[in-house]
Amino acid sequence: MDTKTAVAALGALAQETRLDIFRQLVRAGPAGLPVGAIAAQLGVEANGRLSFHLKELVGAGLATSSQSGRFVYYAANYPAMNALLAHLTEACCAGEPCGAPPPLCIPSPTANDHEARDA
């Protein structure tokens, strides 16, 4: 990951609501969450402000969106998250051992069939 991409990702996460959303998406797994579920978990309305935050995460490459019927799902971009973590810990501790590297997040396979969940 280059520095410019890392700065964009960190900038997107440097806002409380977006960080909360991103953490929800990471926990949700590869199937992601519909906007309504994200709003409910945050205790906010699914409105333009929430859409703005989601768009910022997608624009920074940390999340993806997909439409399934009338629902829009957002999911964490795990490869981008792992690349950011690797960029931050690259050449850690001046080349000296400093503990185990952070574990990579490899989400377990889950059903990506949003229509089945929407039914």
CATH of the domain at 84: 1.10.10.10
% of the chain exceeding 90 in pLDDT = 66
- Interval 57-77: pLDDT, tens: 999 999 999 999 999 999 999
64 has which bridge partners? 75
Cα separation values, 96 from 20, 89, 92, 93, 101, Å? 33, 12, 8, 5, 12
In a domain, residue 51? The reply is: yes
Quick one: pLDDT at residue 110?
60
In a domain, residue 97? The reply is: no
In a domain, residue 93? The reply is: no
The more confident residue out of 80 and 107 is: 80
- Interval 85-101: pLDDT, tens: 989 888 777 767 666 66
In a domain, residue 50? The reply is: yes
In a domain, residue 73? The reply is: yes
| Total domains, the chain | 1
In a domain, residue 95? The reply is: no
Residue 77 belongs to what domain range?
A: 3-88+104-118
What does pLDDT average to over the chain?
Answer: 87
